[in-house]
Amino acid sequence: MRYAIIVLSMLLIAEIGICQDIDQSICNPGSGTSFYPNGRLRTCALKDDFEINGVNCNQYGPITFYDTGTLKSCVTRDYFKYDAVTCNQYGQVSFYATGKLDTCLLFESVVIEDKTCAEFEPISFFEDGKLKSCGTPH
């Protein structure tokens, strides 16, 4: 039992380290990689699909991180579900430093706060989760 707890603890620590210390190995060589003064990766074009925090970011697409190592934005490879919102595949998605959704392109229409937001249109939220703006049906 003690051995199992130790192994699980080590795996958890390794996973946290991967999320916190993303390096340029995820970048396409020669893609114009930039870093923060603290040495953490700021932005680059991905060499392969890259999953972070449930978002599958698209190969060759730009990815941007906050100086803390959390995802700021990328182009999605797949549909991304965030609460009642489904973001479209191959669309730009961005997040606040807290991990809350900032903007994306909707896959399907959705009603938020009594407002109908149209499919394939951008949607934007305030950091507290309230709707900032969205495209309306035509």
Asked if residue 86 and residue 117 are part of one domain, the reply reads yes
For residues 87 and 100, give the distance between their C-alpha atoms in angstroms, rounded to a whole number.
Answer: 13
Give the residue from 50, 69, 88 where a domain finishes.
69
pLDDT above 70 coverage of the chain, percent: 85
Q: What is the pTM of this model?
A: 0.80
Comparing 26-35, 78-87, 93-102, the range with the smallest average pLDDT is 26-35
Strand segments, DSSP code E, in 53-100 are 55-57, 62-65, 71-75, 80-82, 85-87, 92-95
Give the residue from 69, 91, 125 where a domain finishes.
69
Give the residue from 14, 44, 69 where a domain finishes.
69
**What pLDDT is attached to residue 30?**
83
Asked if residue 86 and residue 120 are part of one domain, the reply reads yes
For residues 52 and 45, give the distance between their C-alpha atoms in angstroms, rounded to a whole number.
Answer: 15
Is 117 strand, coil or helix?
A: strand
